[in-house]
């Protein structure tokens, strides 16, 4: 694997805003998480302390605390006496997260619709127009998501269930949304990703919400999540198939 320090230029955080090891650890954890989610640090990567310290310009104490926090949230795994490693992605984990997210956010959206008011509907419409006004991918690199779109996308899905009366449903939904983020980045690598019309999916969900059709809105939201999962699975199959073909080719040559 390519050394982490070769990619260190644009990933350091502003130490002037991080006073004290605990605050530094918080900022550092978020910075590392962003690199994990976007794939700048690939799944399964060994996290070497010295390389990370150089990459982020951080001390060992806040760095270790940051990694411990990420281990608690499941993005990093602690290895006995061997440090840390980025948690690998897996089909089983993706399907589990997707299924639970469908249930949690559907329940939250249904409650939001049942208790809706004009103010909430207005924020949903505004968030929808905002996310659909931004191109999802970087113009200079279609294989990368646009950070501005990602922020707007996060706001859109948060706003959809903001009217839910259960703080726990919203908290669980937020946790699952973060866990889903790195899989979403994997989805754009699928051969079928360019043909997906995410803006249209968002529009159909919003139309159902504004029509107060909870069954349709929840069904469309679940389908929205399922499509992302399907693209990730296709990408994994493509990678696995390619690796298998390469292995078989090497075996034929060696034979």
Last residue of a domain, one of 32, 57, 86: 86
| Residues 117 and 45 reside in one and the same domain | no
Q: What is the pLDDT of residues 191-243, one digit of tens each?
A: 777 788 999 999 999 999 999 999 999 999 999 999 999 988 887 766 544 44
Q: Count the domains in the chain.
A: 2
- 11: pLDDT confidence band, cut at 50, 70 and 90? very low
Where in the sequence is the domain holding 132, given as residue range(s)? 91-241
* pLDDT greater at residue 81 or residue 10: 81
Q: Is residue 248 part of a domain?
A: no
Pick from 73, 104, 106, 98: nearest CA to 172: 104
Q: Is residue 119 part of a domain?
A: yes
- Which residue has tokens 């999802």? 136
The answer to whether 51 touches 43, Cβ cutoff 8 Å, is no
What DSSP state is assigned to residue 142? E
Last residue of a domain, one of 54, 86, 118: 86
């Amino acid at each position: 694997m390519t050394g982490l320090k070769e990619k260190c230029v644009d990933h350091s955080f502003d130490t002037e805003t991080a006073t004290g090891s605990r605050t530094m650890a918080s900022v550092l954890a978020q910075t590392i998480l962003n690199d994990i989610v976007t794939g700048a640090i690939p799944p399964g990567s060994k996290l070497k302390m010295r390389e990370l310290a150089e990459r982020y310009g951080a001390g060992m104490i806040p760095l270790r605390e940051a990694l411990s926090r990420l281990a608690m949230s499941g993005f990093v795994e602690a290895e006995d006496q061997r440090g840390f490693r980025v948690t690998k992605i897996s089909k089983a984990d993706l399907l589990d997260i997707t299924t639970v997210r469908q249930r949690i956010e559907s329940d939250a959206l249904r409650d939001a619709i049942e208790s809706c008011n004009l103010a909430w509907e207005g924020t949903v419409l505004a968030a929808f127009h905002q996310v659909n006004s931004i191109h999802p991918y970087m113009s200079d690199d279609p294989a990368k998501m646009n950070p501005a779109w990602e922020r707007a996308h996060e706001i859109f899905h948060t706003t959809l269930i903001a009217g839910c009366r259960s703080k726990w449903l919203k908290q669980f939904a937020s946790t699952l949304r973060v866990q889903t983020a790195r899989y979403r980045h994997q989805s754009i690598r699928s051969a079928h990703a360019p043909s997906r019309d995410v803006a249209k999916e968002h529009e159909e969900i919003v139309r159902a919400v504004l029509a107060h059709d909870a069954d349709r809105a929840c069904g469309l939201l679940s389908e929205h999540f399922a499509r992302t999962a399907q693209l990730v699975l296709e990408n994994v199959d493509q990678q696995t198939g390619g690796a298998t073909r390469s292995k078989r080719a090497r075996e034929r040559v060696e034979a």
